[in-house]
Chains A and B, each alone.
Chain A
Amino acid sequence: MSIRHSLLALLQDQPRYGYQLRVEFENRTGATWPLNIGQVYTTLDRLERDALVARDGDDGEGHVVYSITPAGQAEVRSWFAAPVERNNPPRNELAIKLALAVTLPGVDVQAIIQAQRVASIRALQDYTKARRDTAANQRAADTAWLLVLDSLIFQTEAEVRWLDLCEARMVQQAQSAAAAGARKTPNGAMEDAPLNADIRR
């Protein structure tokens, strides 16, 4: 998440001081990503250093008000115009865990998949309920929160579908390993199929 660009975008709307920026950001994103006020001030300092915002002085109550500069406006325009980069995906702990599990002996891969599936479905149930409750008494301000919930629902559903695929592939692999093993049995050369122990329960 780019706090820097989010704050700039909010300043493009109108000049604001730090606390206002935080409240405005949380209102517009359904309070999904709570912002630390310290983060807001350090980001504003950097934006000022880079000449993307400027101090407008005091609002009379001791708050320092910031406004966006023309360079800042150009920065916001290019942020909105560019797709979010995917060349540096966030670390996916689940994918790493499964990748290690399938390559290590004695790990019950299917149990890992099932435990994750239960947790993911449970999360999906909660998101779905939250979405249902929000949609039932929808206020204008909830639109952003609904979009965020939809995004979480799609991500979690994708995770479950991926788990299903992993499991199906393991079963397939175990079956062909078992078939290969069975073909070798007459010679007494039973091949060790590490996944079998995990799959055939």
Chain B
Amino acid sequence: MSVQGPQQVLELAKVGRTFGEGATAVAALRDVDLTIDAGEFVAVMGPSGSGKSSLLALAGGLDRPTSGAVFVESTPLAGLGLNELARLRRRAVGYVFQDFNLVPTLTAGENVALPLELDGVPARKAHRQAADALRQVGIPELADRFMDQMSGGQQQRVAIARAIVGQRRLILADEPTGALDSTTGQGVMEVLRSRADAGAAVMLVTHEARHAAWADRVVFLRDGRIIDQAAAMHDPTMLLTQAGL
């Protein structure tokens, strides 16, 4: 299933975020320009305190910038009221967090259907879409399980299914593999990669180079600024030369 939409899904223009005021003010982000296109997977790397999570929160409308502007599918978030913003978050943006943030008293299928039902989608349709999302993350058979009946890796797949359910075009993931072993973590990367290949814009915040390497572009953040970017060369003949072989 491909996700249709405008080419540029996320745009951050000269975005700044300062916490506190006066002498105690801390600038978490300064003049950040970043765009993510449909079908593009971007990883954000940087040491602790470099502004990675602040960037993700601004990109998804969970926080508002002190300066600059954020656009999701060309809609300026600054112009939206709280209700409109909440609706945009439910419909266009999917979040994946390190600690899953799933509701323990709901089944996997109910967790995934939740944002749709909150958005007024009829239950039957919401559950059909939830089943489709669970199929896309490779666990269609676990729809009726509760969270305490699933492994960490399975729970994270449920969280990703919830993030992609419906026609979400922007997937934001904050250290989604943090609590998982490396094989399971790789499975999570495979799912994020396949969402980007299907046309979604994916932004992953991580400190793990091995996970950032799944992205088309890696953005390096330091002291709230983008200092560098790396894009794969996709030139297999260079691989061995680089490896010094």
Contacts and interface: CB of A to CB of B under 8 A. Distances in A.
B47 interface: yes
B195 interface: no
B220 A114 contact: yes
Interface string A97-131: 00000000000000000100111111111111110
Contacts of B231: 122, 125
B215 A125 contact: yes
Interface stretch (B17-25, B99-107, B164-172, B233-241): B233-241
B217 to A, nearest CB: 9
Interface in B93-115: none
Interface in A126-141: 126-130, 132
A93 to B, nearest CB: 9
Contact of B239 (A130, A132, A157): A130
Could you say which of A33, A120, A127, A153 has the most chain B C-beta atoms within 10 Å of its C-beta? A127
B234 A124 contact: no
Interface in B63-116: none
B181 interface: no
B148 interface: no
A129 B214 CA distance: 7
Contacts of A155: 243
A32 interface: yes
B218 interface: yes
A168 interface: yes
A152 interface: yes
A124 B220 contact: no
B210 A153 contact: yes
B210 A124 contact: yes
Nearest to A133: B236
Interface residues of A, number: 28
B180 interface: no
B1 interface: no
Contact of A126 (B210, B212, B220, B233): B233
A126 B245 contact: no
A160 B209 contact: yes
A121 B213 contact: yes
Contact of B230 (A125, A130, A153): A125
B227 A128 contact: no
Contacts of A129: 232, 234
A122 B193 CA distance: 17
B193 A124 contact: no
Contacts of A152: 239, 243
B245 A120 contact: no
Contacts of A127: 213, 239
A130 to B, nearest CB: 6
A161 interface: yes
Contacts of B230: 118-119, 121-122, 125
Interface string A155-169: 111001100100110
Interface string B38-52: 000000010100000
B242 interface: yes
Contacts of B236: 126, 130
Contacts of A123: 239, 242-243
A127 to B, nearest CB: 7
A157 B215 CA distance: 15
Interface of B: 45, 47, 193, 207, 209-210, 212-215, 218, 220, 227-236, 238-240, 242-243, 245
> Nearest 5 pairs between A and B by C-beta?
A125-B232, A160-B209, A124-B213, A128-B213, A118-B230
Given A122-B231, A125-B231, 18 more contacts: A32-B240, A114-B228, A117-B220, A121-B212, A121-B218, A122-B230, A123-B239, A123-B242, A124-B210, A124-B212, A125-B232, A126-B242, A127-B213, A153-B210, A156-B209, A157-B209, A161-B209, A168-B47
